[in-house]
């Protein structure tokens, strides 16, 4: 399994970053410093809270402000303040770009209901790149899904199709807008080291799509305790 990215034949991407929290807030700062992509839209419906300051890329002066707006203004990006409840808003914004623009979905999500929306969007377009980052307190992974000319490439399937944990909602299919902040914090503990490592892994993978290279894996896992990052093939 491999996918060759030819830097001599660049493609136009519209980058949709889903989530401006623990991973998304750091990823956007990396993208801005490197200036990799011109068209970046970040989506999040949350506001900055005091508890976010320790592990997310926000300052105390940001408390009470919209996360997406803070991150977008700081990093010269566009934003949508709101939790995505279906694929309509993604299609609406994609329609604002040239027809040959390919959506690159960057999942900085912490729930499977939102992942399902990203999965549905990819199934509804002809061409797409979907990088899905996720992490627990000390470890995490990035999945790579690629669709070209209406077909998902062999070996780069949707993470929902190949990872059973993403198909399991534990009886709770609620989106972030349907869960209280206190409840979510208790059920999904996070750590700044894992968040930054997840953002770095996503950033490095995104860079390949501009600079060229060869993908030989559809999953990258990391462990902040053993300080390891390992490419894997998930089938």
Which pLDDT band, with edges at 50, 70 and 90, does 180 fall under? Answer: very low
Question: What's the rounded Cα separation, in Å, for the pair 159 and 154?
Answer: 13
φ and ψ at residue 14, rounded to 5 degrees = -110, 115
3-state secondary structure of 85: coil
Spatial distance between the Cα atoms of 4 and 215, rounded to a whole number of angstroms: 6
Rounded distance, CA 64 to CA 60, Å? 9
pLDDT bucket at 188, cuts 50 / 70 / 90: low
pTM of whole model > 0.85?
Answer: yes
Please give the Cα distance from 94 to 88 (Å, whole number). 10
Could you tell me if 224 and 139 are in contact, meaning their C-beta atoms sit under 8 angstroms apart? yes
pLDDT band at 182 (very low <50, low <70, confident <90, very high): very low
**What is the number of other CB atoms lying within 10 angstroms of the CB of residue 44?**
27
Name which of 111, 151, 156, 112 is nearest 130 in CA terms: 156
Structure tokens at 174: 């609620």
Q: What number is the average pLDDT over the span 84-88?
A: 95
Domain that includes residue 76, residue range? 3-232
CA separation for the pair 112, 217 (Å, rounded): 22
In this structure, the number of other CB atoms found within 10 A of the CB of residue 18 comes to 26
Q: What is the DSSP secondary structure assignment for residue 66, as one 8-state letter?
A: B
CA–CA separation, 199 and 142 (whole Å): 9
- How many domains, in total, are found in the chain? 1
**What CATH number does residue 223 fall under?**
3.40.50.720
**41 CB-side CA count, 13 A:** 19
3-state secondary structure of 46: coil
User: Which residues lie closer than 8 Å to 229 by C-beta, 6 or more apart?
Assistant: 197, 201, 220, 221, 222
Query: For 18-68, what is each residue's pLDDT tens digit?
Result: 999 999 999 999 999 887 788 999 999 999 999 999 999 999 999 999 999
pLDDT of res. 181: 44
pLDDT level of residue 10 (50, 70, 90 thresholds): confident
Residue 180 CB partners (closer than 8 Å, separation 6+) = none
Q: What angle do CA 204, 35, 193 make, to 5 degrees?
A: 40
């Amino acid at each position: 399994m491999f996918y060759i990215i030819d830097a001599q034949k660049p493609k136009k991407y519209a980058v949709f970053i889903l989530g401006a929290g623990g991973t998304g807030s750091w990823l956007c700062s990396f993208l801005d410093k490197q200036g990799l992509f011109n068209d970046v839209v970040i989506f999040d419906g949350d506001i900055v809270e005091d508890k976010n300051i320790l592990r997310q890329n926000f300052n105390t002066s940001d408390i009470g402000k919209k996360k997406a707006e803070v991150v977008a203004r700081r990093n010269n990006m566009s934003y949508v303040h709101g939790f995505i409840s279906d694929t309509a808003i993604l299609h609406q914004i994609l329609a604002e770009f040239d027809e040959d623009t390919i959506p690159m979905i960057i999942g900085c999500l912490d729930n499977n209901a939102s992942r399902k929306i990203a999965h549905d969007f990819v199934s509804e377009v002809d061409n797409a790149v979907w990088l899905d980052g996720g992490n627990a307190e000390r470890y995490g992974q990035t999945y790579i899904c690629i669709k070209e000319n209406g077909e998902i490439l062999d070996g780069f399937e949707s993470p929902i199709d190949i990872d059973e944990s993403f198909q399991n909602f534990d009886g709770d299919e609620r989106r972030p807008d349907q869960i209280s902040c206190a409840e979510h914090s208790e059920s999904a503990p996070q750590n700044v080291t894992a968040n930054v490592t997840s953002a770095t892994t996503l950033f490095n993978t995104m860079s390949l799509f501009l600079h060229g290279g060869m993908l030989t894996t559809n999953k990258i896992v990391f462990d902040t305790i053993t300080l390891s990052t390992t490419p894997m093939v998930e089938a």
